[in-house]
Amino acid sequence: MAEFESNYEQSSRSAQNKSQAIVDRLVFAALKEQTRARRWRIFFMSFFVIYLSVVTVVLMSGPGKGFASGNASDSEKHTALVRLDGIIAAGEAAGSENVIRGLKAAFEHINTAAVVLEINSPGGSPVQSAYIFDEIRRLREKHESTPIYAVVSDIAASGGYFVAAAADKIYVNPSSLVGSIGVRMDAFGFVEMMKKLGIERRLLVAGENKGLLDPFLPEHAAQKAHLQAMLNEVHANFITAVKQGRGERLSQSDELFSGLIWSGEKALSLGLVDAYGTTRSIARELEAETIVDFTPKTRLLDRIAERVGASFGKSISASLLGNLKIQ
């Protein structure tokens, strides 16, 4: 009996020892895993701090709202370049505030032989385009000895051409797209779909025309006539600007202001442009081959803030008027 109890105690102690060993291994593994996870957290936190520091330094020491490539020498005459690239809209790189800032700096530099506005734009806001057009004419009058030329790369349509028309001369490639002198407003109508789905539109307004262009209501004849008259007024302003800028160089074609778009080759025969050429070829002709880029460059944080503000404004504008564009 005593021998049996001794064996039992030994077996029990052996089992306890094994259990303790298992527990010890589990605890050690857990501690090891926690240590590894802590090291990775420290690594990623350190990496993030370093990355954030580098970005901050770049933003603080970057060019800000200065100008891009090229150095404006104190003695050498240069050709000043300003780029208008993309949709012409408030808050965008091709918005009036940005482009006008570059144009002013280009005209005001003492060694600017000529200003080249390089355009690659399908159009955009009629108001923003008119702002740039008017400012070009003002700066040209103020700086009488400094010509401004527009160079079209891929496209200068609608608002893009509106702006180009203010230049002394417009240069294109034979395959550039030019024109689209017209105005459009986009909207959709879902009235029949609503009927098929059995959905009733309930709209409360203060002001009988406040539901203008509501896509879920039938088209209103008087409202449509009002909008068409408004588009015609904007179109007339566009036509007036083009005639002021181009003068007698324009042909008498009936299709000139119909909204059609043409190749650079056809635009040349219509008097919409003056010659084939590039920024580089103009600089050579001027004997001012150094090209200094005066296109403003905004900081990253500024661009984000501007984009958020512009997106908010566009949402409100779209909900009220749809998309009004000179195209």
Say if residue 138's pLDDT is above 90: yes
Segment 308-314 shows an average pLDDT of: 49
Burial class from Cβ neighbours inside 10 Å (0-12, 13-18, 19+) for residue 218 reads exposed
> Class assignment of domain 78-325?
alpha beta
pLDDT (tens digit per residue) in 1-58: 555 455 555 666 665 666 666 766 766 666 677 777 666 666 666 666 565 554 444 4
Work out the mean pLDDT of the chain and round it to a whole number.
82
- Report the candidate in 164, 85, 82, 163 with the shortest Cα–Cα distance to residue 126: 163
* This prediction's pTM: 0.70
Tokens of 90: 């408030």
Higher pLDDT, 41 or 221: 221
What does the pLDDT look like over 163-178, one tens digit per residue? 999 999 999 999 999 9
Q: Report domain extents, the chain.
A: 78-325
| pLDDT band for position 320 (cuts 50, 70, 90) | very low
Q: Can you tell me the mean pLDDT for 214-237?
A: 91
| pLDDT score of 131 more than 90 | yes
pLDDT at residue 299, rounded to an integer: 54
- Which tens digits make up the pLDDT trace of 257-282? 999 999 999 999 999 999 999 999 99
* pLDDT at position 184 over 60: yes
Annotated active-site positions, please?
158, 210
How far apart CA 52 and CA 104 sit, in angstroms, is 35
Q: Taking the mean position of all CA atoms in its chain, how far away is CA 65?
A: 16
Is the per-residue pLDDT at 293 higher than 50? yes
Q: Is residue 62's pLDDT more than 60?
A: no
For residue 292, the cross-strand partners are 80
pLDDT at 117: 98
Q: What is the mean predicted confidence (pLDDT) over 66-80?
A: 65
- 243, 250 Cβ separation under 8 angstroms: yes
In angstroms, how far apart are the furthest CA atoms of the chain?
128
Least trusted range by pLDDT, from 32-41, 107-116, 117-126: 32-41
